[in-house]
Homo-oligomer: A and B are copies of this chain.
Amino acid sequence: MIDKFVRSAAEALDGVPDGATVLLAGFGDVGMPMALLEGLIEQGAKDLVLVCNSGGRDGSPVARLLTLGRVRKLVCTFIRAASDAGRLLLAGKLEVEVIPQGTLAERLRAAGAGIPAFYTPTAADTVLAEGREVRDIGGRRCLLEYPLPGDVALIDAWQADRWGNLTYRDTQRNFNPVMAMAAPLTVVQTRHVVELGAIPPEQVITSGIFVNRVLHVPG
């Protein structure tokens, strides 16, 4: 019987190695798997590459992971000077790559979908294109972009069954379904546990085939 539930955050994060690329879903705090992030802080892996929409508000678990010096590089879509992440960056203690949000989403999607590269007009006319491959397609400048796979993805769900089928509530969805497909180890925290079959097949948003471990984190 397939059963992907684990009993603790320690079990959920077991084996994440130093140097791992961690895909962390969420937009602000919404859809961010806070218990797994705390678990990652406990677990101890360091020299991480963290892929996350932003550097996080000060005092948040993301900011804590950064200020603990556990992250070598942050890939995100924005960062403020007046934030923990910004201060670490300006102090030379954190490598940061800031990319457009749609390009981040599409690079993650490409990683999950087996697309080895794609072109996008996004940022092609900006300084972000400096020194990079640009191609004219249909009269439009386009940038070549590559997939952004993770070693592990940390996911926040509303419901999960033992196969790892997931639903999300409202804008909790955001990066979660995309990141869940983009790493060989996908770890989920879910608010609710449901019986297999309780999620109607038309309403499964992330299939269990993308999920490896599920931790029940109520409320």
Contact = CB atoms under 8 A, between A and B. Distances in A.
Interface of A: 106, 110, 113-121, 135, 137-138, 140, 142, 146, 167-170, 173, 201-203, 205
Give this chain's copy count.
2
A124 to B, nearest CB: 10
Nearest to A110: B118
A168 B202 contact: yes
Contacts of A106: 113, 115
B116 A202 contact: no
B121 A118 contact: no
Contacts of A138: 116
Given A110-B118, A116-B121, 18 more contacts: A106-B113, A106-B115, A114-B120, A114-B121, A115-B118, A116-B137, A116-B138, A117-B118, A117-B119, A117-B135, A117-B137, A118-B119, A137-B146, A167-B202, A169-B202, A170-B201, A170-B202, A203-B203
A119 B120 contact: no
A114 B106 CA distance: 11
A89 B110 CA distance: 36
Contact of A119 (B115, B142, B170): B115
Contacts of A140: 116
A61 B9 CA distance: 56
